[in-house]
Amino acid sequence: MNWNAVGAIGEVVGALAVVVTLAYFATQVRQLTRRSQQDAITAFEERMTRVPRMFVVDEALVRLWGKGLTNWGSLTKDEQARVHLIWIELLNQLYTGYMLRNRGELPEDVYLPWEIAIVAQLNTEGGKEWGRMAGSGLHPDFWAHLRTRIESEAAAPSLRPLREREPWWFADDA
pLDDT tens digits for range 128-149: 999 999 998 999 999 999 999 9
Residue 158 binned pLDDT confidence (cut-offs 50, 70, 90): low
- Say what percent of the chain tops pLDDT 70: 94
pLDDT score for 4: 81
29-85 tens-digit pLDDT: 777 777 877 887 888 888 888 888 998 999 999 999 999 999 999 999 999 999 999
DSSP 70: H
Tell me how many degrees the CA angle 70-89-37 measures, rounded to the nearest 5. 125
Domain count, the chain: 2
pLDDT score for 66: 92
Range of the structural domain that residue 26 is part of: 1-37
97: in domain: yes
Residue 98's nearest CA partner among 83, 114, 79, 120 is 114
43: in domain: no
Q: What mean pLDDT is predicted for residues 18-28?
A: 80
Whole-number Å distance between alpha carbons of 43 and 97: 10
Half-sphere exposure of 40 (CA within 13 A, CB side): 22
DSSP 168: G
Residue 136's nearest CA partner among 87, 70, 96, 78 is 87
Low-confidence winner among 42-46, 109-113, 155-159 (lowest mean pLDDT): 155-159
Whole-number Å distance between alpha carbons of 69 and 121: 7
Tell me how many degrees the CA angle 132-133-135 measures, rounded to the nearest 5. 70
42: in domain: no
pLDDT score for 2: 84
Q: Is 120 found in the same domain as 83?
A: yes
Low-confidence winner among 87-101, 113-127, 156-170 (lowest mean pLDDT): 156-170
Q: How many CB atoms lie within 10 A of CB 120?
A: 24
Q: Is 146 found in the same domain as 85?
A: yes
How big, in percent rounded to 5, are the helix, strand and coil portions of the chain?
85, 0, 15
Q: Is 164 found in the same domain as 111?
A: yes
Whole-number Å distance between alpha carbons of 63 and 84: 15
Residue 174 binned pLDDT confidence (cut-offs 50, 70, 90): very low
44: in domain: no
